[in-house]
Structure 1
């Protein structure tokens, strides 16, 4: 099975569970509004109400937090912008149609930020650490994230992980999904450059480099999933196998859905 197809299937499984939970919550609330006065206050009703309130509250909190942080970091990067290097990179990669920003920083910064209009941000430290081909590899990696709208996908995935963290199936699937996000972006670099050499050099240097600026609402070029990324660089024609243990989380999540259904029907 192709990795893209497998990833869609596994991610779809998580969406199926989330949809089942949301649908059951909707049925429960509708039933409670119609018959609440007849049944009175019952413990399992209160418990399910708390789960619903927790889910909605966490999603709203994460949505507001992510939106605020995105705006905050965009403003901060605007203030840190190095005009000369920014103009040079924008001119060099003008055919991409992607906004590039170079910020003055001694930390390693290479990321994609912005939900509706993704932008690539790199630091002057990156320009100093890597040669032109290695910088191109980094930018191609981030360009893939921009074109694939990975920022928006990460945003939605983060909402799901926060709101439905009581579903054991959510966390391993999102970890698996993020790993493949990086692997797909690396594949785009290899296709674009026709070689794994420069990407491999970047990953080796990155593994040794300690000072990395982490920006929460962004998709970073970072040392995540390094083992699988190096395997892909060393053997680009051989499929990378990323393991995921789903049996126990799947059974536990099925139990939670069943309990919610039984509680709502009581």
Structure 2
């Protein structure tokens, strides 16, 4: 049976590959516009070649494609700026809520993480997530520490330690950025949605392996689902790898029946649109080569 790690790598690679192909096409089209170079295998240039130069339809298609490309790039730029600003504010808020003594106590009790890679904040709701891209930080709330017993808290920390080591917050943001920028390609949205599930299942497997039992993780999941821990009135949240936000049903199913395959379905409209788009892209590429 294919592991969640292999499946998640395939999904991540698929989305990134699609983004690179589209960016490559845009780059070739920009080269054609700026330098007048006729670049082979460029879909945008091929579309223009179907119309007589400087005709009404030629100019209309040119404006439409330029507007489409600018719109797509603007979405990406806006999301990048938003994420940077939100993450900067969010880190500042987390720092202001940090309980230094409790943080130090937990670091000593669970000596499995690099120094200063975990903080505990004052918050009544039970929260656990990993934030940041270059140096991910695990954040736990005082409400979580009070709610869970020793084994459950260890399972949560091991779960978040996997997210931290695997840079899941960064990967989730990249997939979200691709899905929002390339909204016209359904496979990118499917990749983002399913990677969120897969990375949670991987982190759960890691927590079970490190703690030696499903009991701690299962108890923590049930308690946090019942408590409905949500971060409110703190800051506009950036992309996070959160313990209790994603795929609860899948994760509980994996705990009860670890050998059962969990189907991650791709909706029929997404398949049809994506296959049609792929065939159209291949056809236009072949025609551009001739």
**Same fold, judged at TM 0.5 (above):** yes
2:257 to 216, 230, 235: 235
Per-residue CA deviation, residues 118-159 of structure 1 (Å, 9 max, x unaligned), is: 111011100111111111111111000001111221221122
The answer for unaligned runs of 5 or more in structure 1 is none
Map 1:1-266; keep pairs closer than 5 Å: 1-3=1-3, 4-33=5-34, 34=36, 39-40=53-54, 42-97=59-114, 99-213=117-231, 215-245=237-267, 247-254=271-278, 257=281
Separation in structure 1 between the aligned mates of residue 180 and residue 140 of structure 2, nearest angstrom? 29
* Segments ≥4 residues shifted beyond 3 Å: 38-41, 237-241, 255-262
CA contact (8 A) 2:98 2:120 kept: yes
User: RMSD of the TM alignment (CA)?
Assistant: 2.6
CA contact (8 A) 2:172 2:195 kept: no
- The alpha-carbon distance between structure 1 residues 95 and 10, as it changes in their structure 2 partners (threshold 3 A), is closer
Separation in structure 2 between the aligned mates of residue 211 and residue 193 of structure 1, nearest angstrom? 23
1:252, CA displacement in angstroms? 4.5
- The alpha-carbon distance between structure 1 residues 25 and 256, as it changes in their structure 2 partners (threshold 3 A), is farther
1:8, CA displacement in angstroms? 2.6
CA contact (8 A) 1:77 1:103 kept: yes
TM-score normalized with structure 1 length: 0.89
Deviates further, 45-54 or 138-147: 45-54
CA contact (8 A) 2:159 2:203 kept: yes
1:13, CA displacement in angstroms? 2.7
Deviates further, 169-178 or 248-257: 248-257
Separation in structure 2 between the aligned mates of residue 52 and residue 256 of structure 1, nearest angstrom? 18
- The alpha-carbon distance between structure 1 residues 14 and 185, as it changes in their structure 2 partners (threshold 3 A), is same
For this pair of structures, how many residues does the alignment match? 264
Deviates further, 203-212 or 47-56: 203-212
CA contact (8 A) 1:113 1:151 kept: yes
Q: Give the number of the structure whose alpha-carbon radius of gyration is greater.
A: 2
- The alpha-carbon distance between structure 1 residues 71 and 192, as it changes in their structure 2 partners (threshold 3 A), is same
- The alpha-carbon distance between structure 1 residues 208 and 171, as it changes in their structure 2 partners (threshold 3 A), is same
The answer for unaligned runs of 5 or more in structure 2 is 38-44, 46-51
Deviates further, 27-36 or 96-105: 27-36
Separation in structure 1 between the aligned mates of residue 275 and residue 166 of structure 2, nearest angstrom? 32
Deviates further, 224-233 or 251-260: 251-260
